Amino acid sequence: MKKYILALFAFAIMIAVSCSEDFLETESTSSVDQSVMFKDTKAAMMAINGMHRVMYDKGNYAPKMGYQYYMLYMDFLGEDLVYTKSNAQFRTETDWTRHRQPTNQYPRHIYEFIYKIIANANMVLDNIDGAEGTQEERDYIKGQAIFYRGFCHFAAVQLYGQRYDRAGNNTQDGIVLRLASDTDPKPRSSVEECYTSINEDIDEAIRLLSNVTFERSTKMHINVHVARAIKARILLTQGKWVEAAEMAKLVVQHSGAQMDKSCFDYKQGRFCDATNNEWIWAKIAQPELETGTLYNFYSYISNTNISYNRNTPRAIYNLLYKRISATDVRKQLWVENVRNFPGLVYPPGGNRYKWMSQKFIVDYPDNTSASYSGAIITADLAFVRLPEMYLIMAEGYARGAREADARNALYVVAHDRDPMYALSTNSGEALIDEIMFQRRVELWGEGFRWLDLKRLNLPLDRGPAPRPGYNQGGAVNGWKSNSEPTNLDPLASNFNMYEEQAVGELCRYIPAGAKEWQWVIPQLELDYNPLCVQNPL
């Protein structure tokens, strides 16, 4: 374990490009010893910026890209983001095989990026109290470091542990908690112990960041509103419904974020521009650092990117799409009849498939130009948006027997997106279903669906296959770019209809609680940490 953890402790996060005199603008760094790194708060900010960088730093092979990969994985494991055509990237994520392979390098990348940030956070926490600077600056740095430790443990336990049961008795194995800069073998803590530690870290981050009066210089940095937003997610995952809603309400009331429909404008930069007033925490694009088309989120989700999505456009689950009102501005984010949509954005020569996404537009191509190169390959990426907070309020209040409050919170998002939406009159399960529908549509492709299914103990259900007598899918039945498929089963899902070699047919349905809902621990962890036990294989 020591050898493995030491590799994760390496502070080589990125090469220093420059070092501004301004405390908030200090760049991240590499190969600087701790005595220099933590001499003062200006130098220590390099460590914090380094952790931000790890969130989207590319690995040694595509699609390894830190938290961006995590986000994509969470939706490819679900049903709402449909993989239209087989190719090399994300097929095995979609068919639920990679995360069950202990020696596979791709899920191991997620484990490693999580524990790299945790190791570096612990290094900051060990040293920051002695750094020269004001107490407010130390609080800002320490608050961000302890936030990242809690955030990463939270990201990990949702994968490797069984779901948190709000009824109690969460003695099931969680993850290895790393709360100090040591490399000793450690057993996995229980899920309850993990969430206790996670909450303690986020609570301390909120306390420290509440003392900070200066404004952050970028939405990449963590402030008290980001910490409260993640705290709301944690409480929701634990089934602490009203507490989650009340925490999200603090973000709504005090963050300064506002509902902003400009993200839906038909333009270059649609849904990938951090200047949007809804965005609370984000990755800010670094084109000079984010080189290579296969090392960022948009290479695998933006149907305008010249990379994999030229041949494999992402689509929405058609049975979800059918429920979206025609007057909802979000309806335009997906195109059902691609032959009859003159404004369709796609790379020249790219495939066009029913229900394909138009949500993320990084570069607006000239579809008549064979020379289009997809020159813009990266963009800003939202980690937390204001609508999520309203939807946490709605779900938390609805499940917590405060339905009037739930309807009011839901109305803010639903009416902003659809001017014809009226305040809901639903109650009970009908109200909860309405809220979860809005959550699925609003947060599509942003990394939530699989986590929602797991926390709510729901099965994966990718919908029914076509009935006999209807189009059974595949290119020979019209599922290709130069034709419109006919004789479609109105009750069938578009999952596995786009080609003959169906992706993940064996995982069309996974029952709740099956062992497949737990990721397996990477074999390297087990090799170096004999106290860590594997999940059921």
81, containing H or E segment = strand 81-83
Cross-sheet strand order for the sheet of 314-316: 81-83, 314-316, 356-357, 334-335
pLDDT at 268: 84
Which residues 6+ apart lie within 8 Å of 292 measured at CB?
A: 58, 62, 377
At residue 475, does pLDDT exceed 90? no
Name the most confidently modeled range: 181-185, 389-393, 485-489.
389-393
- The larger pLDDT score, comparing residue 260 to residue 86, is at 260
Q: Which of 76-80, 212-216, 494-498 bottoms out in mean pLDDT, i.e. has the lowest?
A: 494-498
Distance CA(513)–CA(516), nearest Å, equals 8
Confidence band of 306 (pLDDT split at 50, 70, 90): low
Among the CATH numbers 1.25.40.390, 3.40.50.261, 3.40.50.970, 1.10.3720.10, which is that of 2-214+516-528? 1.25.40.390
Please spell the DSSP secondary structure of 397-433, one letter per residue. Answer: HHHTT-HHHHHHHHHHHHHHH-TT-------HHHHHH
3-state secondary structure of 383: strand
* Mean pLDDT of all residues belonging to the chain: 91
At residue 215, does pLDDT exceed 60? yes
Which residues 6+ apart lie within 8 Å of 164 measured at CB?
A: 170, 191, 195, 237, 238, 239, 455
Q: What's the mean pLDDT in 496-517?
A: 88
Distance CA(270)–CA(280), nearest Å, equals 17
Q: What's the mean pLDDT in 75-83?
A: 95
Q: What's the mean pLDDT in 457-466?
A: 96
pLDDT at 8: 46
Q: Which residues pair with 430 in a beta bridge?
A: none
- For the stretch 143-179, pLDDT in tens is 999 999 999 999 999 999 999 999 999 999 999 999 9
Distance CA(151)–CA(201), nearest Å, equals 8
At residue 373, does pLDDT exceed 80? no
Q: What's the mean pLDDT in 334-361?
A: 88
Is-contact 357 261, C-beta < 8 A?
no
- Amino acid letter, residue 400: G
Structure-token match 């130390």, residue found? 138
Is-contact 361 302, C-beta < 8 A?
yes
pLDDT above 90: percentage of residues in the chain: 74
- For the stretch 418-429, pLDDT in tens is 999 999 999 999
List for the chain the helix, strand, coil content (%; round to 5): 45, 5, 50
- For the stretch 174-192, pLDDT in tens is 999 999 998 899 999 999 9
- For the stretch 12-68, pLDDT in tens is 333 232 233 355 554 544 445 677 889 999 999 999 999 999 999 888 988 999 999
β strands within 209-333, DSSP E: 279-283, 314-316
Count of CB atoms within 10 A of residue 92's CB?
19
Structure tokens at 193: 């112990």
Q: Which residues pair with 361 in a beta bridge?
A: 270
pLDDT at 29: 46
Is 122 exposed, middle or buried (CB count within 10 Å of its CB: 0-12, 13-18, 19+)? buried
Q: What does the buried/exposed string (b/e) look like for 47-76 if buried means 16 or more CB atoms within 10 Å of the residue's CB? A: bbbbbbbbbbbbbeebbbbbbbbbbbbbbb
Domain segments of the chain as ranges: 2-214+516-528
Is 493 exposed, middle or buried (CB count within 10 Å of its CB: 0-12, 13-18, 19+)? buried
pLDDT at 376: 84
pLDDT at 178: 97
Count of CB atoms within 10 A of residue 104's CB?
16
502, containing H or E segment = none
pLDDT at 150: 98
At residue 502, does pLDDT exceed 50? yes
Distance CA(57)–CA(11), nearest Å, equals 13
Helices (H), 161-293: 191-210, 224-237, 241-254
Which residues 6+ apart lie within 8 Å of 429 measured at CB?
A: none
